[in-house]
Amino acid sequence: MSEKVLQYNKPSLQGSLTVPGDKSVSHRSVMFGSIATGTTTVEGFLLGEDCLSTIDCFQKLGVHIEVEGTSVKIESPGMDSWQEPTEVLYTGNSGTTTRLMLGILAGSSVHSVMTGDASIGKRPMRRVIDPLRQMGAHITGRADGQYTPLAIQGTKLQAIEYNMPVASAQVKSAILLAGLRAEGTTIVRETEVSRDHTERMLRQFGADVEVKDGVVSLEGGQALSGTHVSVPGDISSAAFFLVAGAICHNSQLTLENVGVNPTRDGIIEVLSKMGATMTVMPNDNSQAEPTATIQIQTSTLSGTTIEGDMIPRLIDEIPILALLATQAHGQTIIKDAEELKVKETDRITAVVAELKKLGANIEATNDGMIIEGPTPLKGASLKTYGDHRIGMMGAVAALMTEGPVTLDDAQCIAVSYPSFFEHIEAVR
């Protein structure tokens, strides 16, 4: 654990940043490039620890992957020629790696064992394994497959029709990736639409995927072929600077090349609704994932309610939105967000406990939190719970406090945003 003391003396923030590549798209680029036959090139790849775990797992399956700066080249013989890994596949802190790989490995021709860090060891896997078992997958693990380590014996799969019990792109993607290898047409029905990077990228790699009224259908047995993937900047990383720009005094920030996929852009809608002074300038959007340049400045904000089908569109931004709400006038209610309890840590408990230490008026509810603002924030010693987004929330809070903020473990931020503190230095 690396403790970090942050004393920023309430800076005004100015300048322009290009946030690192999108985590979800980076993971998928390596996964799809490894499933595909031929060469895939990726630009703008996120060199965060989570995505490096994905690369490491596929290298252990015999896929040739080279990283040079933020460019990645994947040369795969195709999934049928993967080699049986002689070592355990280690997925680190990454839920996306663990869950999507379950879907991929279930229909492969190899046996593998997968495990991750202490946080992964507590995250529910049955949400993925149950539908995969319905497809015929052979997966065993602790608590009948609820927790890692998990062993997967690749086998022939059958398509299923599946009604999603929770809005989860990880579950949807695992089923679709298994469906790619299954006999028949796999159909996934969502009541609330989760991020659709998998659907977009399947098409980019040459597969036919139909999406209509929240129903995704995919014919099994389709082959993918290598292609070029351009990774947009991660809106979930940009979120920390969007909030910092809105709450720090006398500030103006420009964020370039931010991914604004409509299944991910809930934070833009919420910032606008709360009164943020912000401009979103779309780029040439011929790519699979749309991007924009976003400008934001110090804003007078009012409280709001965040609920329902908005939640999956900003699920990873809730910690930083809670901090934003401490600076807004009136009450902010976040509800329908029980999923926060099964993220890298229980983010309802963690956000409420840490923001309280900073002087916020915030209470936890069963499915979210209620925040009254505005409240001045004071320095404190914070826990990150090994969760990158809790760590970055604490660091952005430190821009608002008189006294120092200490993070017990700042290293965890490298999971999704290794250059985070350099970017703070560049704009303060």
Query: Which residue of this chain has its Cβ atom nearest to ligand S3P in the complex?
Result: 24
Residue 358 and residue 204: Cα distance in Å, rounded?
A: 45
Taking the complex as a whole, the smallest distance from the CB of residue 343 to ligand S3P amounts, in Å, to 6
Q: Of 133, 263, 136, nearest to 198 (Cα)?
A: 263
Binding-site members are 23-24, 28, 95, 123, 168, 170, 316, 343, 347, 389
Q: What is the DSSP letter of 130?
A: H
Closest CB to ligand S3P among 95 and 107? Answer: 95
Q: Which two tokens stand for residue 158?
A: 């059958």
Taking the complex as a whole, the smallest distance from the CB of residue 248 to ligand S3P amounts, in Å, to 26
Binding map of ligand S3P across residues 218-257, x = CB under 6 A, - = no contact? ----------------------------------------
For 308: left if phi > 0, alpha if psi spans -120 to 50, otherwise beta; the answer is: left
**Read out DSSP for 52-85?**
HHHHHHHHHTT-EEEEETTEEEEEEE-GGGPPPP
Taking the complex as a whole, the smallest distance from the CB of residue 170 to ligand S3P amounts, in Å, to 4
Task: Identify whether the C-beta of residue 296 lies closer than 8 Å to the C-beta of residue 325.
Answer: no
Closest CB to ligand S3P among 229 and 315? Answer: 315
**Read out DSSP for 367-394?**
TEEEEEE------EEE--TT-HHHHHHH
Considering only residues 23 to 82 of the shown chain, the ones binding ligand S3P according to CB under 6 A are 24
Binding map of ligand S3P across residues 186-205, x = CB under 6 A, - = no contact? --------xx----------
**Read out DSSP for 315-330?**
GGGHHHHHHHHHTSBE
Taking the complex as a whole, the smallest distance from the CB of residue 109 to ligand S3P amounts, in Å, to 25
Residue 94 interacting with ligand S3P (CB under 6 A):
no
Binding-site members for 3-phosphoshikimate are 23-24, 28, 168, 170, 316, 343
Binding map of ligand S3P across residues 158-177, x = CB under 6 A, - = no contact? ----------xxx--x----
Catalytic residue among 316, 346, 387, 408: 316
How far the first Cα of the chain sits from its last, in Å, is 26
CA distances from 350 to 288, 341, 342, 421 (A): 35, 9, 12, 21
Binding map of ligand S3P across residues 338-367, x = CB under 6 A, - = no contact? -x----------------------------
Binding-site members for phosphoenolpyruvate are 23, 95, 123, 170, 347, 389
Closest CB to ligand S3P among 4 and 195? Answer: 195
Residue from 117, 234, 316, 317 in contact with ligand S3P (CB under 6 A) = 316
Task: Identify whether the C-beta of residue 287 lies closer than 8 Å to the C-beta of residue 232.
Answer: yes
User: DSSP alpha helices (H): ranges in 278-359?
Assistant: 311-314, 318-326, 347-357
Binding map of ligand S3P across residues 95-124, x = CB under 6 A, - = no contact? -x----------------------------
The sign of the dihedral angle between the CA atoms of 59, 62, 67, 73 is negative
Closest CB to ligand S3P among 96 and 299? Answer: 96
Closest CB to ligand S3P among 190 and 354? Answer: 190
Q: Of 135, 191, 198, nearest to 163 (Cα)?
A: 191
Taking the complex as a whole, the smallest distance from the CB of residue 80 to ligand S3P amounts, in Å, to 26
Closest CB to ligand S3P among 407 and 415? Answer: 415
Q: Of 293, 296, 294, 292, nearest to 245 (Cα)?
A: 296
**Residues that contact ligand S3P, how many (by CB under 6 A):** 11
Q: Is 364 helix (H, G, I), strand (E, B) or coil?
A: strand
User: DSSP alpha helices (H): ranges in 107-248?
Assistant: 126-134, 142-145, 169-179, 197-204, 235-247
Closest CB to ligand S3P among 193 and 301? Answer: 193
Taking the complex as a whole, the smallest distance from the CB of residue 284 to ligand S3P amounts, in Å, to 25
**Rg of the chain on CA atoms, in Å:** 21
Has 130 been annotated as catalytic?
no
Q: Which residues are catalytic?
A: 316
Binding site for ligand S3P (CB under 6 A): 24, 96, 168-170, 173, 194-195, 315-316, 339
